[in-house]
Amino acid sequence: MSFFYSLLIIFASVNILLVSPKAVNMAEKLVETQSIPTNNIVEGGSKVKGTSAIIPRLKENFTSVPYVSATALVVKDTSSKTLLYVKDPDKRVPIASTTKIMTALVASEYFKPADVLTVKTTSLVGGSSMGLKLGEEMTFRSLLYGMLLNSGNDAAFTIADNYPGGKDNFILAMNEKAKSLGLINTHFENPAGFDGGTHYSSANDLAVIAEAAITNSQFSRIVSTKDTVVFSIDKQSEHSLKNLNKLLSLPGFLGIKTGTTPIAKENLVALVERNGRKILTVVLGSDDRFTETEKIIDWSYSNFIWE
């Protein structure tokens, strides 16, 4: 009989503990931390040795992670390569015009800023545009501005069309670049980000692509530009460009690229710096990319410490 009463006492104690506010809070914290990676120094899934970067660590009394509708998400400290928060980071999803980060990366390895490129028939596609005309000649630098600020699909295809071997070879080069970066959840069908059955990436992979792109000073300068005007070589055409990234108006935000399609929904790769610490975020498949990116960045800086 004493054994039976002991079981009753244990059962009652457990129930009291579980319904207590403190226990509920502890349970919530446990669920939240399941999405927060251990603070290993990672890069492309491998530990980086010999780094002197400070590794951010989660505060003991961290606050609840804000709700995000995004399908996939990554928050990364750029110095130590530490992942601060993830949500389905390796899930293959459509990425819309964030594709153009890879387009810029591949193109910048071949073209020089002053190279003159010609708009061809195949360059004039639908969707976002910088307003190019058939036969118009633009410098590669100007096309980069049109592609990364206005998210011009016409600029992306003009760049691809002028690559040796044309658009098909350029797309091949994009996929080869993905392989060279060690990406296994990325494949491209086009240089602009149109939805397709085999056009996809992951939050983790896109973070790696963005990190590679921001090492290029020209790319970093362009994606942090709010607006500008570019001209055709003959000065007959003027293109007023405005960055679609609304977060550039906030302190510390440095770019990088937006993207939206009906299937991919709202996407944003963003770079921000506060107190000398840079964080890269990738938000994919969101209902509100700007608000969710801002919330997750604020949470990260408030709940991690660098010391």
Give the active site residues.
97, 100, 151
Of 162, 149, 170, the residue nearest 97 (C-alpha):
149
Residues 69, 292 contacting (CB under 8 angstroms): yes
Residues 190, 271 contacting (CB under 8 angstroms): no
Neighbours of 12 (CB within 10 A): 10
- Please name the residues in contact with 42: beta carbons below 8 A apart, sequence gap of 6 or more: 48, 81, 82, 83
DSSP result, 45-113: TEEPPS--PPPPEE-TTPPPPPP---SEEEEEETTT-BEEEEESTT--B--GGGGHHHHHHHHHTT--T
| 3-state helix, strand and coil shares in percent for the chain, rounded to the nearest 5 | 40, 25, 40
Within its chain, how far is the Cα of 150 from the centroid? 17
SS3 116: strand
Of 127, 104, 271, 126, the residue nearest 174 (C-alpha):
104
The residue written with tokens 């973070």 in the block is: 207
